Amino acid sequence: MTEQVIRLKTLLQQRHWQSYSTFCREYDKAAQRVDPCLLGKWPSRAQLNRWVSGELKGLPYADHCRVLEEMFPGSTAAELFSPGPLPVPAQRTSQDDTPAPVHTSLLPSPTADVTAVFTSRSAFTAAHPPSTLFDNASEINAAGLSLNVICQSYPDHQLRRLLESGTRIRCLFLDPTGDAIRAREAEENYTDQTLQSLTALNISILTRLRARLDEESAARLEIRVYDETIRFNILIVDGTTCVVQPYLPAARGVDSPTLVMTHDESTEAGLFPVFAQVFTSLWERSTPV
């Protein structure tokens, strides 16, 4: 008898989410958006094996279905547990709403670790608020210009809670006194030192926070600056999720397209290791604050 491949299995393979630990991590991300009460309620390893092998009769419990439909937008639970090839996405018309994020099922295999693409940073932030990225993080690495996602969009008391509970945070700012930030201001047509002032403010927010921490917690918050042409805003959380925005000519960073990557531990292929190395290289050439 010809083996019937369940669509859920195919989607997991396309995203490189087939390992149990990776599946549970992605399940929790979707659960956070659906209902935080569902965090940690992923299926057992044996249950997941039954799901993808076609042994399941009917559908999982309703809560599982809700989370799975959030993990794979555009697919119903019934479709996910059906055998056969994935349906071809319908063509959108000009009257449609803004397109949903592009997922790896629509991307070629060389970029298989790209799990979503957004048209702007604001669209990404609407779908993934800073709280969903940082609240349970054990390590946060950020490099960019002013790092507003950490300094302006995430409360000080939450940053303090993270640091005091053991989270390591490394922040790399474009030097507010350097040549590169002035060049960027000219490119964005600022004439009043807007970017220099904002970046200096954000650095002072973190240094004041660090000064209020005990010695051990303060050591977990590292702040550095660099003075090089800015090309990317890079955010890496727990060595597994990487969010990247390029800086476009004459466009504000918030208007840049945003790529989300999930590290596949079984391979070094894809874009995640590329941008992880970019961060490491910048960090090694930077100056501590």
Interatomic CA distance for residues 241 and 235, integer angstroms: 8
Q: What is the pLDDT of residue 93?
A: 45
How far is C-alpha 16 from the chain's CA centre? 16
- Pair of tokens at residue 125: 């932030």
Q: How confident is the model at residue 1 (pLDDT cuts 50, 70, 90)?
A: very low
Which phi and psi (to 5°) does residue 54 adopt? 85, 10
Percentage of the residues of the chain whose pLDDT score is greater than 70: 86
Q: What is the pLDDT of residues 195-212, one digit of tens each?
A: 999 999 999 999 999 999
Question: Do the Cβ atoms of 106 and 89 come closer than 8 Å?
Answer: yes
Closest CA to 11 of 84, 92, 117: 84
Average pLDDT estimate for 240-246: 94
**Tokens 């670790």, located at residue:** 113
Q: Model confidence over 137-179: pLDDT tens digits?
A: 999 999 999 999 999 999 999 999 999 999 999 999 999 999 9
Q: What is the mean pLDDT of residues 86-111?
A: 48
- The residue whose two tokens read 């990776």 is 22
Angstrom CA distances, 131 to 24, 34, 75, 148, 209, stand at 19, 14, 26, 14, 18
- pLDDT given for residue 3 in this prediction: 54
CA distances from 187 to 63, 104, 128, 148, 225 (A): 49, 33, 29, 19, 20
Residue 16: its pLDDT value, please? Answer: 85
Specify whether the CB–CB gap between 167 and 139 falls below 8 A: yes
Q: What angle do CA 256, 188, 277 make, to 5 degrees?
A: 50
CA–CA separation, 164 and 145 (whole Å) = 26
Question: Would you tell me how many other CB atoms lie within 10 Å of the CB of residue 116?
Answer: 19
pTM value is: 0.63
* CATH topology (fold) of 109-288: Endonuclease; Chain A (3.30.870)
Q: Mean per-residue pLDDT for 30-44?
A: 89
How is the chain split into domains, by residue range? Answer: 7-87, 109-288
**pLDDT at residue 88 is higher than 60:** no
Between CA 140 and CA 113 the distance in angstroms is 19
